[in-house]
Amino acid sequence: MSGFEVFESSRAPIKAWTRGVPIEDAAMAQLRNVASLPYIHRHIAVMPDVHWGMGATVGSVIPTIGAIIPAAVGVDIGCGMMAVRTSLRAEHLPDNLHGVRSAIEAAVPHGRTDNGGRNDVGAWADEPPVSAKARWAELETGFNAVIEKHPKATHARGLGHLGTLGTGNHFIELCLDEVGDVWVMLHSGSRGVGNRFGTYFIERAKHEMRRWFINLPDQDLAYFPEGSEGFGDYFKAVSWAQKYARANREVMMEEVLTVLRPIFPDLTVTVEAVNCHHNYVTQEHHFGKDVYLTRKGAVRAGAGELGIIPGSMGAKSFIVRGKGNPDSFCTCSHGAGRVMSRNEAKRRFTIEDHVKATQGVECRKDAEVIDETPMAYKDIDAVMAAQADLVDIVHTLRQVVCVKG
């Protein structure tokens, strides 16, 4: 028996690895909208962490020929995970990890204003570190090429955000694997500059649809046809933002390790490290065709490739090795996946619920992070069981420190 279920649409079928983790009605409606588009190649693939998103569901894999949908990639372009295994062992960690969490929080800008306002304080207040400046110098030419043609796509704090965490479900963690080795793991993307690029080109695509009187089942499925000026400009911009997101994670990782070394003088990093996107578009070859493959909340899982599937605060995470399953377009889930909205989580759960759910994890336990409490997410064990034919588990990690924006 195959690991996926097949759902029909008006055009392309939907193959979903969702046994034991049902799909919400709103997400299924979105999946059928996407599958009905004329440029979908073969089918769309759905991961077990699937849930409603803007235009396209989070946890979906969309192969297209001759078009790209900017909102399917989203505004957190290149968002993804990075993890490194260190020489530290569980027995090297102090009983009280609050000081370690505080040191990481001081080293990496994150979050918003203290009163929960919209002003982003997750940027370098004065001068970015040398690591951020060096990476920005490498990226500057590509950024300038985009904004010279599209000045309205610029973001003034691009450099100020390189090496910063952000908000929402972005995090930095110390984890222990099954044998007690300490890992540093983090989750972030292209920050303000990627958000601006994404927002700008989504609106450009919608404008093009109106200009050509193209009707869509959802305006957020507005697309750029290959060969058009918008297509070429967007692909350059999104490719740059994906490089920026990867560099952002690398700078943050370097800053975290730098601040940990005075606390743990013998710390070294092993050769085992992973850095993978889970919101992006790329060119790949599947079922006999070269396609533009959009993974929205999904990780590439080619045969032998390492990836990261995090749980939620207080839940297990996994380092995995892909099996290269062709039906999934060599893909696996990007996490547990939300089971309810942020507002619903805040309405349903209390601080006491959150404290109990994150017992044993040094993390924030206040009202501002209840929307990220483990109960707001699907059961990670069920998610992993549903994709057993997509990945093998290499390491099982449990958080001991979690920094949230």
Catalytically annotated residues: 334
Asked whether 308 and 274 are in contact (CB, 8 A), the reply is: yes
Pairwise CA distance, residues 210 & 226, whole Å: 17
Copy the structure tokens of residue 363.
């993390």
Instruction: Let me know the angle formed at the C-alpha of 112 by 108 and 117, rounded to the nearest 5 degrees.
Output: 175
Contacts (Cβ under 8 Å, ≥6 apart) of 104: 172, 256, 259, 260, 401, 403
Handedness of CA 169, 172, 176, 177 (dihedral sign): positive
Pairwise CA distance, residues 208 & 224, whole Å: 8
Helices (H), 175-302: 191-211, 229-260
Asked whether 277 and 245 are in contact (CB, 8 A), the reply is: yes
